Structure 1
Amino acid sequence: MEESSYSNLSTSHLLGSVPAVTNEEKKASYDVPEANMQIFPPNNGSGGGRGRGYQTLEAPTEEFEQQPPNNWSGVFSISSYTQYFNVDTDVVIYRLISSFYPVTGDFFSKIDANPDLYGLIWITTTLVFMLASFGNWATYLMQKHSDGTTSWSFDVGYINAAAVGIYGYAVVVPMSFKFLLQYLGSNASLVRFWCMWGYSFSIFIPTALLLLIPVEILRWIIILIAGSASSCFVALNLKSYIEGANDLKMMVVAAFLLQMALAIFIKVWFFP
């Protein structure tokens, strides 16, 4: 009897005792927030049932990248001209190679999205120094071939003649054609003309190296071939640019003759 009475005593007040779990505590529940899952629509692009469940960002379309730059801030602002030097090495090399194939006549379509002036400055400057140095060297070789006692001398006047002739032609001739075509009612872009004429000089760079051969008849053959290629490049591209204007065909002939005159000037003045 005594043992049963002791077992019925409440022990919740004793130290270290664990209270029994009540029914209310058992019934308590915690609301778990539902996961907010987003279901992306399937990719409806090409590929049929292999489309992924989400869409990724794609590169801008070619039409967007080919929009011509329009960041002109004034004639005396440097930022106005940076857009015409926004080309990398691959683009310049591609345009250089295109200038060695004059029969295509599609150079303006290749530069329409991004005409550059980098080629004009780089090619003309390289040609100026090559004509000045190789012209002096060729003169020495020709004199050495006829007179073994000839000593080497550098004529500084070759630099002045090359700079005036090449830079002047590269700037004045395209500008003249631009304003003349505009006067005759045909649309013309001065930057595109500068770009096209600048790359037309590229064939004269390896030609200057070949003109070191001290054989006069071979020099004339080399310069006439190079001049014809450069002239055809200018004439055919200019023809495609003003296609449809029959009264402007004389402009094409004039461009061809001027380019041939430049080739003859290079031969006569620097490689006599």
Structure 2
Amino acid sequence: MSNPFITTQDTNESGFVVSDNSFAQSGDIDFSARQNEQVNFATQTTNSQTNPSGAGDEEKPNTSNEEEEIKEYKWYHFYKSEFYARWFNVDTTDVLKRMLWGLIPFFGNFFKQTEENPDLYGPLWIPLTVVFLAFFSGSLSSIIENAYDYKKLSIITGTILLYIIFIPIILWGVCRFAFKIKNSLVSYICLFGYSYTIYLIVIPLCAIPFWYVQIPLIIIGFFVMSITILKNMFHLLHENTKIIALIITFVVLVIINLAVAAILIVCYLSSYHILYLLFFSFHNKILSRKLTLFSTVFGLKIKFIEQFEIVVDFFSFF
């Protein structure tokens, strides 16, 4: 009886039938195909677990893009606008938060709060706004007193801009090379720029032409600004700096801030007010005598003569 599944037969020398079984062949093909599919599926599953969502294939272009961005930020690309763009990557919320940190000096560590994204937007906008307000308040005060003095306003502008540019650079150099602290220069500029926030309130109020209003306001601005800077510099320096170096740094910063406040006071007050504040404790009878005093404020040897009005006229030239 013939086997229906055998299509062709051949007999070898031993008498065994050698045949092509089409049913067995198709079954073997299907089984091997299924095995291949299972192996491919297992391989894909293993790859997906190792690199989920094909992350390995997609991260390579991102890495190259990041490297290109890093190359664009090298120091020798300072002439490109892209070099500065990363320091202006802030929104209104970020600027307002940092202004609040500069206005109230007890909101944590300013360097840590801004280390990931220090900006130059606030440090440029705030001092320039203070300069504008100084011109506005100075002009308004001059209108009230009927005495214009644009020279004093120019001194205020130069003082503010020189302070915000050179003091952070000098402090960064000292911390980098003397104290081995590797914070970026932009972080120092960011701190000093936002610490000027208090003067956005103080300077407009100095338009009130009364020395007993202007002097306390400027003193308040000096204290708030100094506390903000010193507190954050203490967080930065106290772990890596000796106490003596820390004290010297703080004393120098206080003297510089005090000099800025003194310049603002001298520029906002008239010569008559300064003279009155310096010598108001002297009696008029003593001033009527011939005295020779050395003025520590103006650095000149001033000879007082009998009339107080002549002394006032002399100081009006300043």
The TM-score normalised by the length of structure 2 is 0.57
Query: Could you tell me which residue of structure 1 aligns to residue 165 of structure 2?
Result: 171
Number of aligned pairs?
A: 199
Q: Structure 2 vs 1, CA of residues 159 and 217 (structure 1 numbering), >3 Å: closer, same or farther?
A: closer
Distance, in Å, in 2 between the alignment partners of 1:185 and 1:208 is 35
Q: Structure 2 vs 1, CA of residues 185 and 98 (structure 1 numbering), >3 Å: closer, same or farther?
A: closer
Distance, in Å, in 1 between the alignment partners of 2:261 and 2:131 is 13
Larger relative strand fraction: 2
1:227-242 equivalent positions in 2, closer than 5 A: 227-242=222-237
Distance, in Å, in 1 between the alignment partners of 2:262 and 2:154 is 18
2:103 corresponds to which of 100, 105, 108: 100
Indicate the SS of the match to 1:202.
helix
Q: Structure 2 vs 1, CA of residues 233 and 123 (structure 1 numbering), >3 Å: closer, same or farther?
A: same
Contact 2:172/2:185 (8 A) holds in 1: yes
2:184 corresponds to which of 176, 183, 189: 189
Q: Structure 2 vs 1, CA of residues 215 and 162 (structure 1 numbering), >3 Å: closer, same or farther?
A: closer
**Residue 185 of structure 1: CA displacement?**
3.2
Contact 1:174/1:193 (8 A) holds in 2: yes
1:51-200 equivalent positions in 2, closer than 5 A: 70=70, 72-73=73-74, 74-141=77-144, 143=145, 150=146, 154-187=148-181, 188-200=183-195
The TM-score normalised by the length of structure 1 is 0.66
Q: Percent identity?
A: 24
Q: After superposition, what is the alpha-carbon deviation per residue over 1:182-238, rounded to whole angstroms, capped at 9, x for unaligned?
A: 231321421100000001111111101211223212221111111101111011111
Cα RMSD of the aligned pairs, angstroms, is 2.5
In structure 2, list runs of 5 or more residues that go unmatched.
1-68, 271-318
Q: Structure 2 vs 1, CA of residues 182 and 205 (structure 1 numbering), >3 Å: closer, same or farther?
A: same
Distance, in Å, in 2 between the alignment partners of 1:103 and 1:94 is 13
Q: Structure 2 vs 1, CA of residues 181 and 242 (structure 1 numbering), >3 Å: closer, same or farther?
A: same
- In the alignment, residue 158 of structure 2 is paired with which amino acid? V
Q: Structure 2 vs 1, CA of residues 171 and 96 (structure 1 numbering), >3 Å: closer, same or farther?
A: same
Does residue 216 of the first structure (1) align with residue 211 of the second (2)?
yes
Q: Structure 2 vs 1, CA of residues 127 and 80 (structure 1 numbering), >3 Å: closer, same or farther?
A: same
- In the alignment, residue 224 of structure 2 is paired with which amino acid? A
Indicate the SS of the match to 1:264.
helix
Distance, in Å, in 2 between the alignment partners of 1:258 and 1:231 is 10
Larger relative helix fraction: 2
In structure 1, list runs of 5 or more residues that go unmatched.
1-68, 144-149
**Residue 103 of structure 1: CA displacement?**
3.3
Contact 1:105/1:233 (8 A) holds in 2: no
Q: Structure 2 vs 1, CA of residues 195 and 212 (structure 1 numbering), >3 Å: closer, same or farther?
A: same
- In the alignment, residue 256 of structure 1 is paired with which amino acid? V
1:11-90 equivalent positions in 2, closer than 5 A: 70=70, 72-73=73-74, 74-90=77-93
1:231-270 equivalent positions in 2, closer than 5 A: 231-244=226-239, 245-246=241-242, 247-249=244-246, 250-270=248-268
Structure showing greater relative contact order (alpha-carbon pairs closer than 8 Å, 6 or more residues apart): 1
Distance, in Å, in 2 between the alignment partners of 1:97 and 1:78 is 29
**Residue 105 of structure 1: CA displacement?**
5.0
